[in-house]
Amino acid sequence: MASCIFDSGFNVLEEGLTVRDAIDKIIIEHQLKDLTDAFHVADLGALVDQHLRWQRALPRVKPFYAVKCNSSKPVVQILAQMGMGFDCASKNEIALIRDIGVAAERIIYANPCKESSHIKYAASRGVQTMTYDNEDELPKVAKNHPAAKMVLRIAADDLKSSFPLGEKFGAPMNECKILMESAKALNMDIIGVSFHVGSGCTDPNAFTQAIAEARLVIDMGIDLGFHMNLLDIGGGFPGADHILFEEMAAVINRALDIYFPDESQVQIIAEPGTYYVATAFTLAVNIIGRKIVKNEQLCSDDEEAENEKIIMYYLNDGNFGTLLDFDCNLKPLLCKKHCPDQQLYNSRVWGPTTNNRDHISDQWKLPELEIGDWLIFENIGAYSISLSSNFSGFHCAPIRYVMGNVTWKTFQKIKDECQAGGEGQEDTV
């Protein structure tokens, strides 16, 4: 147990053991004790792997992990020790990250519409960099945090992303000048521009366009007398699916070289959330209930009716727990071995609450499963445990943290290098 540097502790897996082995072992332990509780296994090594991949693919872009995506303490602690920055969206996120010893300079308060008391709190914890995209935000910040360094969030094309954010945030190009003039009139400092192409972005060119527009806005700021030295390219990077991260990175690098070459002296940061944590978490759930629905129209032929039946399954995690918003990307793995030629049935899968919206999927064809069988959902680290509620008395499934033996050694090397370079954790203010 390598618990010395983490409050929560985690297990370093024995040589040759995989995360799936760890899950199978926990399931066997559960079965021996007649337990059916759902659980997550978080592979902290996935964070290390993703970080190395990021550094290789986007060497000019410093990641500020979006805490909202998954704020579990071991996750942010591992990332902090690898020298990451953090994107915080609220007072509590700032508290979490400052309390684990991350210096205020490594935090961007990236929420364009902030509550006054949260702005005041950011000031009290030394966090200065924060985003805005509208005129009404400025007097609030001027009053509660006059030393704040503002970053203007501009609108970006998010049409090809799974979770667009543009309807809520981002200033249109034709408002940017006035938004900067208003800041100037209030004696406020603007240091850069940010954007977000939407989570689950499938079109790397959305970054190219936004980077080009950011250049125009940064030049506008320079003309107005601001010292513009920050470009924040937001989130939207893929976690486990559709588009290859490296392809996206190549497009981004090309755009940065054109619009923000090294000589421009603009620091480039990003706010990846999904990219870092999606693959790190795996959920094991138990089938706690089942209902077989016969297709009434086919009852003339017994065999056909049998083949066409729909099986409803009730799991002990669902939309009010950690499985919200995953419908199209989610596919369970079965724990029990099934022969490949086994009959598959249409299934309707529900979470454990009595609410109709706790409906996980109708998309899966599954062999006939039984109460007590286990299903595994991979790649569910992003917007899962952070969205989990206690609705109807159900709680977030517990998390067991692990890291592979080899990755553990790699992590320690990165951590030591960061500390030597002054980028590790620092004393809390």
The token pair that represents 331 in the structure block: 């596919």
Residue of 38, 47, 82, 110 interacting with ligand PLP (CB under 6 A): 110
CA atoms within 13 A on the CB side of 317: 29
Measure the CA–CA gap between 421 and 62, rounded to whole angstroms: 15
271 is catalytic: yes
Residue of 164, 236, 351, 404 interacting with ligand PLP (CB under 6 A): 236
The token pair that represents 121 in the structure block: 């709190």
Residue closer to ligand PLP (CB basis): 64 or 320: 64
68 is catalytic: yes
The single residue of 93, 137, 271, 423 carrying the catalytic annotation is 271
91 is catalytic: no
Residues 380-409 that bind ligand PLP (CB under 6 A): 382
Shortest Cβ distance from residue 145 to ligand PLP (Å)?
Answer: 18
* Phi, psi (deg, nearest 5) at residue 282: -130, 135
Residues 253-292 that bind ligand PLP (CB under 6 A): 271-275
Residue closer to ligand PLP (CB basis): 49 or 426: 49
Residue closer to ligand PLP (CB basis): 234 or 351: 234
The single residue of 68, 91, 114, 145 carrying the catalytic annotation is 68
The token pair that represents 170 in the structure block: 């981002």
The token pair that represents 301 in the structure block: 């032929």
Residue closer to ligand PLP (CB basis): 274 or 286: 274
Measure the CA–CA gap between 382 and 277, rounded to whole angstroms: 6
Shortest Cβ distance from residue 64 to ligand PLP (Å)?
Answer: 8
Residue closer to ligand PLP (CB basis): 10 or 54: 54
Residue type, 338: H
Residues 62-91 that bind ligand PLP (CB under 6 A): 66, 69, 87
Measure the CA–CA gap between 39 and 27, rounded to whole angstroms: 9
Measure the CA–CA gap between 322 and 197, rounded to whole angstroms: 24
DSSP 95-128: HHHHHTT--GGGEEE--SS--HHHHHHHHHTT--
Residues 205-234 that bind ligand PLP (CB under 6 A): 234
Q: At what angle do helices 137-144 and 173-185 cross, to 10 degrees?
A: 30
Shortest Cβ distance from residue 153 to ligand PLP (Å)?
Answer: 8
Q: Which residues are catalytic?
A: 68, 196, 271
Residues that bind ligand PLP (CB under 6 A): 66, 69, 87, 110, 165, 196, 199, 234-237, 271-275, 382
